[in-house]
Amino acid sequence: MKFFSTRSPEGPLLTFGEAIFQGLAPDGGLYVPQGDLDLKEAFLSLHHGTSFKEAAMVMAKGILSEELSPEQIEALVDKAFPFAPKLVEVEKGLFVLELFHGPSCAFKDFGASFLATSMETFLQGKDKKAIILTATSGDTGSAVAQAFYGKKNIDVVILYPSGRVSPLQEKQLTTLGGNVHALEVQGSFDDCQKMVKDAFTDQELMAKLPLTSANSINLGRLLPQSFYYIWAFAQLKENLVDDLVFCVPSGNFGNLTAGIYAWKWGLPVDTFIAATNANDVVPEYLLSGEYTPRPSVGTYSNAMDVGSPSNFERMMSIFKESWDMTKSLILGQKITDQETIETMKTVKENQGYLLCPHTAVGYLAAQRYLEQHQEENEKVVVLATAHPGKFVEVVQQATGESPQLPPALANLLKKEKQAKLIDNNLQELREYLQANF
Ligand SMILES: *Cc1c(COP(=O)(O)O)cnc(C)c1O
């Protein structure tokens, strides 16, 4: 399988191994697969006894078989996923796909870990190194840090705004050590992002150091997010009357776009529900045909506060800019903060199940869908994007209870912070990089 930029359909074509080290294409577009895989038979042969790794292998082989041997692909999948999703039926017909059992307790672990392991695999025996440079406002950086920790021939440099991430987030970024280097920047998240951007356009620096990015638009993070849709289907397939419905709490729409690839390559899916908070430019597009990006607004589900979703460009490339095609598969649903809190409260009271605020957005959207399709025996799978224990204040406010911090995170609080404090300009970053690599 080869890949091209959304902005240059005529090429050049890249391999997966090339595209993942580029991140964004030089023309500013996003890499997308060329042509389709036909995996329908393989998907239909899976069953409830299929492990997550087995489900992942089906898709990974389809994507990588021109570049790696079956044994290498197997080793990659095996190494990338020491954790797996769980599927829980919380109420009749409504299943929660828990994607928070990885090291940072959020679904981004799946994409980050596959990318990191892929990079390590492609660097092997090549006498090449990579330095991952990334800015974080808190949460996403921790999945990247965990995923790259201990990877051979790779260093990670993470910039975060001093005093503007939560104590737990700071521990997640700064306590790993080894090949993970945290830079505490005296400035805002925007300053951190600007410094990273400036470094990537600094030709002298780029000529000297093998700098690369690992942000969420990277193909190597996007595609593995399709693996758990396939696994969830395998779990439920023997009891399905109709095709499955997936409900995805969305911000940049990477998670949802990955599901669309699984569908495009043969997974039987009836509908994807795109659940958003007040940042609802995609549900608006689905209703009106007008796409109007705008500045984001803050909500309780803040990992979804995105006013201009980066993966919209990939979705448009899949559906060939056709509004009709897009809305025939995807249904939009906007959920307010008030509704989010109420859902967390009622689901805890009635089902005894604790939701994080992001998952709650998806949960209510799924409940609404099921209400409208009562006689049809439909099954909806809601993607649970993070562990509720990561959002103590909102969970407390909604349910009156303090959630337990997952043990993996609780242990971090005892560890020592290691970070280098720097000023918010490129010169400081350049000096740091040149002195250390
Ligand atoms: C990143 C994130 C989302 C949004 O996912 P996208 O792929 O950007 O749509 C939802 N919930 C949580 C907890 C996240 O970290």
pLDDT tens, residue by residue, 23-66:
889 898 999 999 999 999 999 999 999 999 999 999 999 999 99
Instruction: Specify the residue with its C-alpha closest to ligand 1, atom 1.
Output: 303
List, in order, residues 6 or more apart from 367 with CB less than 8 Å away.
94, 343
Cβ–ligand 1 contact at 255 (below 6 Å): yes
Ligand 1 pocket: which of 146, 225, 255, 301 to mutate (most atoms within 8 A of CB): 255
Please list the residues that pair with 182 across neighbouring strands. Answer: 158
Percent over 90 (pLDDT), the chain: 87
* CB 252 less than 6 A from any atom of ligand 1: yes
**Chain segment 160-201, per-residue pLDDT in tens:** 999 988 888 899 999 999 999 999 999 998 899 899 989 998
What is the rounded distance in angstroms from the CA atom of residue 354 to the CA atom of residue 403? 8
Q: Side-chain half-sphere of 79: how many Cα atoms within 13 Å?
A: 19
pLDDT for the residue numbered 23: 85
* pLDDT at residue 364 in the model: 98
Q: Whole-angstrom Cα distance, residue 273 to residue 94?
A: 13
What confidence category does residue 81 fall into, taking pLDDT thresholds of 50, 70 and 90? very high
Considering 108, 151, 171, 345, which one is annotated as catalytic?
Answer: 108
Q: Would you state the pLDDT for residue 209?
A: 95
Q: Which of 101, 115, 229, 252 to mutate to test the pocket of ligand 1 (most atoms within 8 A of CB)?
A: 252
Alpha-carbon distance of 359 to 357, in angstroms, equals: 6
pTM of the full structure: 0.96
Mean pLDDT of 236-240: 92
CA-based nearest residue to 56, from 100, 110, 105: 110
Mean pLDDT, to the nearest integer, of 239-244? 88
Whole-number Å distance between alpha carbons of 285 and 24: 25
Query: Ligand 1 centre and the CA of 250: distance in Å?
Result: 6
- Over residues 364-389, mean pLDDT: 94
Q: Is 219 in the pocket of ligand 1 (CB under 6 A)?
A: no
Cα dihedral 336→340→343→347 (10° resolution):
160
pLDDT of residue 75 exceeding 90: yes
The pLDDT, as a whole number, for residue 377 is 84
pLDDT at 138 over 80: no
